[in-house]
Structures are given as structure tokens and as C-alpha cells.
Amino acid sequence: MRIDILTLFPKMFDGFLTESIIKRAINSQKVEINIIDFRTYSKLNNKQVDDTPYGGGSGMVLMCEPIVSAIEDLRKDDSLIILLTPQGKVYNEKQAHELKEYKHLIIVCGHYEGYDERIRNFVDLELSIGDFVLTGGEIPAMVITDSVVRLIDGVIKKESYEEDSFTNNLLDYPTYTKPPVFRGLKVPDVLLSGNHLKIAEFRKSEQIKRTKLRRPDLLEKDNNEN
């Protein structure tokens, strides 16, 4: 998979690309991630990419030409163009699995007051990571990239994500490690029993119990889908 991220602040991705699982995925050639400063696509002498909004108002608006020029330069037949915006569809685990199937993602990070509306005509999908506003799309781009890359075959063990929270509209089950007792708090006996059937039943029960308590909306969603 190849992921191209269009941004005005490429240095924000330095740590993201050089640590942990993302770094290993890049080094093992499971994914190619390119950070592109779309200011380089500006045809103005000062490399300007934003201007004041027509009709007045506060803030600066990102201009069409630099972003569209970058998209058109990078787009292939199998590309999916994603615009990050608070107005987009709220991102979830199901979409991470869908995006994993694409060979090429182009992710556009917004900044300032927003985009020239006409840019929307050149993208395939608009995404938001939640009902809140950030200073730019760089952090959402990292969130989406991380959630997709970890699903690529060979990046992590398949069993590590098959029972993740949200995979089946349930939160993940509780996990424990050594010591078996910490300040009077004990690991459930079933997890120490070696009975894999009982352990699986316990974990499934805990998933349902935890979801009912913390995110009952996920169970309602599952019922509606069925």
C-alpha cells in the first residue's frame, strides 16, 4: 500500500513515521508513506496557498489550485482521495478495514478556516475523526494512517486485531499480566485455569458486559444492522 499525505506541516509527521509499528511497516516495505507539502504546488512567487474568504469573515481559506494540482499529480487509477474535515463522515473501525483494501490513499490535511468549497469536487471521500474541531488535519491523518497500516497483512499478527474493540460492535475484553495479585487485586481465576474454552467464554461475556456498561449504543447499532 502507498499513502500520500498532503499537508502544510510535514515536520509534524517526523516522530510518527520513525517510531514503533509504523516504522517497522515502512522498513519491511509493507507500506510506503509520503508526506507532501502542497505549498510546493503553489504557482505564486511566495508559495501562498490560502487567502481571505469571499463575502468576508474571519480566518483564511485554502485555495483550490495548490491542492487540486497536488491531487492530480499524485492520483492513479486505483487511488482513493480522502479530504479530512469536521464535516465528513465520522471514521470508525469498519472504514479502516475498507481503506486497507485500497492500493493507494491520498489524504488531504486541512488547516486555517477551511477549504475552498470547490475542492470537494476533486475528492472521493470526506472523513472526520469525531465531533470536535482541531487546528488542522495532521493528527486525524496520523490516526487514520495508523488504524489502516496495522491491518495490513504482516504488519502485526492477525489475532492481535481480530478481537479488537469495535471489530464486532463490542468493546475489547479486559486483559491482565503478571503478577497474579497486585495490592489485593487478583487476576480472574479462569484466566489462570488453562481451560481455553472457559477463557473464551469468559472473554466474550466480559465484552458484552463492558459494552452494555460503557457503550450501549454499539449494541443498539448491531441490532439495527441485523
CATH for 49 = 3.40.1280.10
CB 1 within 8 A of CB 104: yes
> Cα-flanking dihedrals φ and ψ of residue 172, to 5°?
-70, 155
Q: What is the CA radius of gyration of the chain?
A: 22
Distance CA 62, CA 80 (A): 21
Domain final position from 135, 158, 181: 158
> In this structure, what C-alpha cell is assigned to residue 198?
472457559
Same domain, 135 and 189: no
Q: What is the pLDDT of residue 57?
A: 87
Assess whether 138 and 217 both reside in one domain.
Answer: no
Task: Clarify whether 10 is annotated catalytic.
Answer: no
pTM: 0.87
Catalytic residue among 37, 53, 75, 86: 86
Catalytic residue selected from 65, 116, 164, 206: 164
Give the domain CATH number at 199: 1.10.1270.20
Q: Are residues 213 and 121 in the same domain?
A: no
Amino acid code (one letter) for 75:
R
Confidence (pLDDT) at 141: 98
Q: How far is CA 65 from the centre of its chain?
A: 26
In terms of domains, do 116 and 178 share one? no
Question: Can you give the three-state secondary structure of the chain, one letter per residue?
Answer: CEEEEEECCHHHHHHHHCCHHHHHHHHCCCCEEEEEEHHHHCCCCCCCCEECCCCCCCCCEECHHHHHHHHHHHCCCCEEEEEEEEEEEECCHHHHHHHCCCCEEEEECCECCEECHHHHHHCCEEEECCCCCCCECHHHHHHHHHHHHCCCECCECHHHHHCCCCCCCCCCCCCCCCCCEECCEECCHHHHCCCHHHHHHHHHHHHHHHHHHHCHHHHHHHHHHC
Residue that terminates a domain, selected from 118, 137, 158:
158
Catalytic-role residue among 37, 113, 126, 172 = 113
User: Could you tell me if 132 and 192 lie in one domain?
Assistant: no
Residues of the chain with confidence (pLDDT) below 70 = 160-167, 222-226
Whether the CB-CB separation of 32 and 149 falls below 8 Å is answered with no
In this structure, the answer to whether residues 178 and 151 fall within a common structural domain is: no
Q: Which domain holds residue 6?
A: 2-158
Told to judge if 32 belongs to the known catalytic residues of this protein, a careful annotator would answer: no
Q: Which residue has the cell 486555517?
A: 112
pLDDT value at residue 158: 79
- Our answer to whether residue 150 is catalytic in this structure is yes
Q: How many domains does the chain have?
A: 2
Active-site residue, from 37, 65, 116, 150: 150
User: Which of 139, 158, 177 is the last residue before a domain boundary?
Assistant: 158
* Closest to 33 in 3D by CA, of 10, 67, 65, 66: 10
Backbone φ and ψ of 126, nearest 5° = -115, 130
Tens of pLDDT, residue by residue over 97-155, are 999 999 999 999 988 778 999 999 999 999 999 999 999 999 999 999 999 999 999 99
75 and 187 belong to one structural domain: no
Distance between CA atoms of residues 22 and 1, nearest Å: 13
